[in-house]
Amino acid sequence: MNTPPFQGVWHPGGSLGHRQFATLFEGALELEAGGRLAPVDVAYETWGSLDPSRSNAVLVLHALSGDSHAAGPAGPGHPTPGWWDGLIGPSAPIDTSRFFVVCPNVLGGCQGTTGPASPAPDGLPYGSRFPAITIRDQVAVEAALADHLGIDRWAAVIGGSMGGMRALEWCIGHPERVQRGILLAVGAVATAEQIGLCSLQVRAIRADPAFRGGDYYYSGGRPAAGLAIARGIGQMSYRTADELEARFNNAQQSTDDPLNRGRYAVESYLEHHGDKLASRFDPNSYVVLSEAMSHHDVGRGRNGLASALSQIVATMTVAGISSDRLYPLKLQYEIASLLPSHTEVGVIDSLIGHDGFLVEVSGVGNVVLAALARDGARNL
């Protein structure tokens, strides 16, 4: 049977928007933690043109709640504008008049790539049957997509947060296929705080009675309330105390209550962001991807971080956000200190916190532009 149009999930029959598709692993993707998936559909978008030598391809990797729509307006098939719209395009830092840019929706996602809402071989959504996946599994899918596109080596692989995890795994697991790596707001291994915050968000979703163990697709409801709370928890770690204080202080929204017992403005802000995500994202995908982030450890099975990072041969750019409390600068300095060649850490000044890698278009753009200008990149 066909998968129905679940809320927050791209489904066959929906508007393609700018998506393209590849079907990979007809023989099965063997997963790092055990289990397998076959086949794997990947939704991706492209900008610019691949040159005859196929040497100008740039892979852009999205974070937890992103998708393949990295650039372009909202419209049919794309409920929001591109999440890095200011960074990708003609004469932009990732200049599509020079580079062929590819952005895939990640394995486990909900915007066209195989994930929990996708039909399993029996035609029903995977739901609770979707296997545990890791960042390395996601990169294995992206490597297969590169093969499908005929791209042997990326001119650059770029990502922030969860996208940065995958960019780092690309540089370690496929060193010969990456000319330069650009890592933003990420660490080499998940910290206890990051794992704990992911755990709380996952628990909020699973505690919603509508979750039904992950098999809610045909129940007539979905755990939107649990996902909205999870997003609120995340939002508190993505922004800084100073920014929240400057924007909201202890202000309350207008009320007729003589004791002024209205909602605080910051409460409304968190509810808005939670409801907004719940309307466009699948709760199961949020669980699967959050748990993949918690498993992030480039040193696993590679004799530790130092040994893993020593395998990198790409020219590296590492940058972070000055006020990031979720992925603080010390994590980027740790990566840089273990790379084979001397690497300075770029610091993007921002009051915002972790979300600065998405919001600070000028600062991030300067870092990316400088990285892509290195080693004759302008001649690609």
Burial 263-288 (b: 16+ CB within 10 A, else e): eebbeebbeebbeebbeebbbbbbbb
Residue tagged active-site, from 18, 78, 296, 354: 354
Is residue 15 part of the annotated active site? The answer reads no
Residue tagged active-site, from 161, 237, 294, 323: 161
Instruction: Give strand pairing partners of 59.
Output: 102, 157
Is residue 161 part of the annotated active site? The answer reads yes
Is residue 354 part of the annotated active site? The answer reads yes
Number of Cα atoms under 13 Å in the Cβ half of residue 342: 0
341/325 Cα distance (integer angstroms): 27
φ/ψ (deg, to 5) at 156: -160, 150
338/332 Cα distance (integer angstroms): 10
The backbone region for 353, taken as left when phi is positive above 0, alpha when psi lies in -120 to 50, beta otherwise, is left
Residue tagged active-site, from 67, 95, 324, 355: 324
52/107 Cα distance (integer angstroms): 29
Residues near 99 by Cβ (< 8 Å), separated by ≥ 6?
A: 48, 56, 57, 58, 155, 156, 372, 380
Residue pointed to by tokens 């196929």: 54
26/42 Cα distance (integer angstroms): 13
Q: Which sequence positions are flagged as catalytic?
A: 161, 324, 354
